[in-house]
Structures are given as structure tokens and as C-alpha cells.
Amino acid sequence: MPFLFILLAVFVPASQMSAKPLWKTIPPTPTLPNPDHSGYHQINGIKIWYAIFGRGEPVILLHGGLMNSNYWGKQAPVLAKFYQVIVMDSRGQGRSSRDAQPFSYALMASDVIGLMDYLKIQRAAIVGWSDGAIIGLVMAMHCPERVTRLFAFGANSDPGGVREDVGENPLLKESVARREKEYQQLSTTPNQFNSVRDQIREMQRTQPDFTAQQLRSITVPTWIVDGDHDEAIKRENTLFLADQIPGAGLLLQPGVSHFAFLQDPEQSNGDLLHFLQQH
């Protein structure tokens, strides 16, 4: 028996013994497939970039703060086999422009509605990641007639739902440095990253500020989702969101963090399809 144990130990691949767990990694930012259509549209005084993939019931993917639509590169082609997938760069981020208006989640939700109006989309499922999930919650509260369902990943209900050590997390620091490079490559104002970053941080310092009563007003079918190793959002706040929204589903994806869509796209895509295909 000891001899057998030694043999088994010898044949464990070295890569498996030394590999970091997924939740400690940020895989490369993917690229989007070639869209069926893409372009810019003037909304609320700025130019919003968008792209469309596939046909079917519309699903809008909203990225996280300081990100861009490329982060959906592992989800868009899979979902586009069954749905019309729309991605958009939030104001001041990615390829979209900004103006002097202070950033707010309500303003960004208005941008989404403006794009839906332009594309003649009456109702859509919303898949939001971090800031995108908060935008989705705003839409579910204030214009539920435009939202068929909401998959909210990595959201917080108020600034207190963010971990106090978020600024010191090495993975998050690495992510912000990457996002700065991507901003410089995509934006028409490549030298303004610091200004945009500061504006978004100021927004996040005071927003969102959802009360339990506001959350209880949501009638849109909703899943509150997070990675079980999220390094940004407090677990108790994720549970609070799920507890307050009537009938909300709660999903903690195993083995991943705030970057689950990059770390384990197979798991994320399976969960997304399961959610979207529910009746």
C-alpha cells in the first residue's frame, strides 16, 4: 500500500500541483466576435458605442466599472446562438464618450433605455456585472416594463457593501492597471483615464443607496449572483440583496471571484443560459 501511494504521487502533473486556483487569477481580456452590426448613437448628449450579435429575444450585457464590452468576449458568442445579444460601452468607458455631467447609476440606466429606444427594443433581459449589475437594479426598480429579467452579478446595495480592503487587493490593482491600458487603446480621449477613474470612484463612494423598501419593490424576475471568493463585495451584502428582492434567486458560483466571467466562462455561460431559459 505505501508503494502504491508513492507511485500515484509521482504521476500527479506538476502543473496541477503549482497552479493557482481560478479565483486568484485574471485571465486575459477576450475579444468580441465580429458583430452583425455595431456603431455609435447619440444618447443624453454623448456617443454610446454598441454591438449586436445573433437573433432572438434581446439580452443586453452591461460591463463593470472602467471595463469595456470586450470583457463579454466569452459570453456573447455563446448567448448569440439563442438570443439577440447587445453589448454597449458605458459612458466615458471603452469606446463611448462622456460630457460634464457627473456619473450616476441612474444616468447610465437612462443611457441603456436610450439605446433600447434607438434599436426599437421594447423589453430585454439584462445581464450586469458589478457596476452593470447596479445599473440593472436601477432599471428593474424604475422602469420594470423595459426589463424581462435581471442577472445581477457582483452588485452591492450601498457603498457599505464593498469590502474595506478593496483598494489593497493585488488582483484588483492588477485589473485596474489592465483597464487603464485598454482605455488608452479604445477611447477617443486616451489621456483622460485618471479623470474617468476619479469620477467613477466618486460615484461609487456615495452610490448606490438602495433601501430595503426600494429593493422590495422589484417585481422583475431576478437572480443575485456572485463568486464565492469575491474580493470586492461583502458576502452579507449579497445575501441582503437576495433576501430583500421578492422571489429573487441566490447563486454563489464556486471557485471564482469578482472576475468569474473570465475565470470560468463555461460555468458562467451555463448559469446564464439556465437563467435565461427559465419560464
Confidence band (pLDDT; 50, 70, 90) for 8? very low
Question: Mean pLDDT across the chain, nearest whole number?
Answer: 94
Helix (H, G, I), strand (E, B) or coil at 265: helix
Could you tell me whether strands 46-53 and 124-129 are parallel, antiparallel, or unpaired per DSSP bridges? unpaired
Whole-prediction pTM:
0.94
d(CA 13, CA 10): 8
The domain ranges of the chain are 30-276
Query: Taking the domain 30-276, which CATH number applies?
Result: 3.40.50.1820
Which DSSP symbol is given to 11? Answer: T
pLDDT tens per residue, range 117-144: 999 999 999 999 999 999 999 999 999 9
Contact between 61 and 84 (Cβ < 8 Å): no
Give the model's pLDDT for residue 279.
74
Angle at 59 between CA 25 and CA 153, to 5 degrees: 35
How large is the average pLDDT for residues 25-38?
98
Is a pLDDT exceeding 50 seen at residue 1? Answer: no
Sign, Cα dihedral of 54, 76, 67, 228: positive
